Amino acid sequence: MVDLHGDALVSWEYVAGMLGYQEAQKDRVVGLINWISSRAVAVAGREIIRRERVYIADGLGTARIYLPVVPVLSVESVVIDDRHVFDNQSLDPSEYHVEEHSGIVTRYGGIFAEGMHNVRISYTGGYAMETMPDDIRKACLEAIQTAWNRQMDNSYGVSSKSMSDGSNLSYELRLSADVYGVFSGLRLAVM
C-alpha cells in the first residue's frame, strides 16, 4: 500500500472524484500524486504545504525580511541577535506588518540588524490541502492524468508512435508548458 506523503498537494479522494479512478487503482494514483507534488516543489524551489516553520535569515540592516513559504498565516515570534523582539501575544501592528501573499515582514521604526543567521522568525506558512488554489489543483490533475495515460499504454521513453489507422500520436516528454507555468509561478521573487 502506497501512502500519501505529507507534502501532497491534492488528496486521493479529490483526484479519484475528478478523474474517475477506482479503489483498485489507488496505489498507482497515490504514487502519481506524490510524484507530481515533489515535482511542483522542485520547480517552485520552495515548500508549498502549510505548516509551522522556523526561518533563520541574515539580517541585512533593512526594515524587511522575506519569508520563503507563502501565504503567511501567522507570525508567532521574531528574535534578532538572540533578543526576543515580539511574539504573537505582544504583537503591535504599529511596529510591524506581515504581507500574507508576498511573505514580507516589515518593521516600523526598526531594522533587522546586520548579521549572519541572526534573525529567527517562527511562523505558519503555506497552503492547506483543502484551500489549495484551483490552478495548482488543476495542474496536478493534468499531470496525473498524463502520467496515468503514459503508464497505461507503456509509452515512457517514446516521443511518438504510429497508430493502426495511420495517424501519428505525439507525447509530451516533460511536464506540459501549462503545468510547468503554474508551478514556476509559485517561485518567490527575491527583492
Q: Is residue 27 part of a domain?
A: yes
pLDDT value for 172: 55
Are 43 and 96 part of one and the same domain?
Answer: no
Q: Which of 125, 142, 176 is the last residue of a domain?
A: 125
Name the residue with cell 511573505. Answer: 103
pLDDT value for 149: 83
pLDDT value for 57: 94
**pLDDT tens digits, residue range 64-106?**
999 999 999 988 888 999 887 766 666 667 788 899 999 999 9
Are 60 and 111 part of one and the same domain?
Answer: yes
Domain of residue 80, residue span:
51-125
What residue type is 126 in one-letter code?
G
Helix runs in 62-166, H state only: 134-152
Are 155 and 134 part of one and the same domain?
Answer: yes
pLDDT value for 191: 42
Name the residue with cell 503508464. Answer: 151
Q: What's the pTM?
A: 0.79
**Cα(186)–Cα(70) distance, rounded to whole angstroms?**
9
33 with 12: CB under 8 angstroms?
yes
Number of structural domains the chain divides into = 2
Give pLDDT tens digits along the chain (191 positions): 889 999 999 999 999 999 999 999 999 999 999 999 999 999 999 999 999 999 999 999 999 999 999 999 988 888 999 887 766 666 667 788 899 999 999 988 889 999 999 999 999 999 999 899 999 999 999 999 988 887 776 555 555 666 778 777 665 557 888 999 999 998 865 44
86 with 96: CB under 8 angstroms?
yes
For residue 85, give every residue at least 6 positions away whose Cβ sits within 8 Å of its Cβ, in sequence order, or none. 77, 78, 79, 110
Q: Is residue 190 part of a domain?
A: no
To 10 degrees, what angle do helices 12-19 and 26-44 make?
Answer: 110
Are 101 and 117 part of one and the same domain?
Answer: yes
Residue 175: alpha-carbon gap to chain centroid? 16
Q: Which of 125, 146, 171 is the last residue of a domain?
A: 125
Q: Which of 103, 125, 147 is the last residue of a domain?
A: 125
Q: Is residue 191 part of a domain?
A: no
Are 57 and 32 part of one and the same domain?
Answer: no
What residue type is 39 in one-letter code?
R
178 with 143: CB under 8 angstroms?
no
What residue type is 111 in one-letter code?
I
